[in-house]
Amino acid sequence: MAENDRQTERDAMVQDQIVARGVKDEAVLRAMRKVPRHKFVPQEYEQDAYSDSPLPLGHRQTISQPYIVAFMSEAAQLRPTDKVLEIGTGSAYQTAVLAELAKEIYTIEIIDPLGLKAKGLLHELRYENAHVRIGDGYEGWKENAPFDVIFVTAAPNHIPEPLVEQLKVGGRFIIPVGSERQELVRIAKTESGLVQEALLRVSFVPMTGAAKEQK
């Protein structure tokens, strides 16, 4: 399909896959209409970039289904002044959506080739507020903590304590937790502790690195 037709595809994706399922946040919908998902998928899957499904990235990783990206972004209740930590950059599609919604995005990818590609693509698309680190995200990014929002896009079997520590009081933490099928959880950090809410059954790739060594 011609390059100049892809906006029509994005508009249809948002209307048919996202609005139709109940996502209402106008800022999220604008971001989903704007970010060119076809730039973030491997070339052999470009024709399917706006389909209602995750797609393979290689390295046993996937780019999330558009609806899940939008749902998580809305659930985070992002504000233009927020500083966000993302664990699991992957293709950087979610990163780009976050960069449209928040002030600064700090994102960590454990797989070197994906991290390097993501860094180059975010630079090419002029997302100068997105900062990429290659490494294990389990310990977070302490020198830039605390964060208003923490996003995790791979599934550990528990909630990583180092990430909880780097979340501001009043902050939101969005994370899939579990093994083969997971629960997407939103955690609010309050003065008196954590308030946890189950949002949706999901299926993410497992979180690797130090997460696998913890219980």
The Cα–Cα gap between 159 and 171 comes to 15
The DSSP output letter for 101 is: H
**Catalytic annotation on 179?**
no
Find residue 176's DSSP bridge partners.
Answer: 184
Instruction: Pick the closest to residue 40 from 111, 108, 110, 89 (CA basis).
Output: 89
Instruction: Pick the closest to residue 160 from 80, 215, 107 (CA basis).
Output: 215
Find residue 149's DSSP bridge partners.
Answer: 84, 172
H/E stretch holding 170: strand 167-178
The Cα–Cα gap between 14 and 32 comes to 7
H/E stretch holding 99: helix 93-101
93 three-class SS:
helix
| Joined tokens for residue 110 | 């454990």
Tell me which of 51, 64, 192, 203 is the catalytic residue: 64
From residue 33, give the alpha-carbon distance in Å to each of 56, 69, 156.
Answer: 22, 12, 30
Q: Known catalytic residues?
A: 64
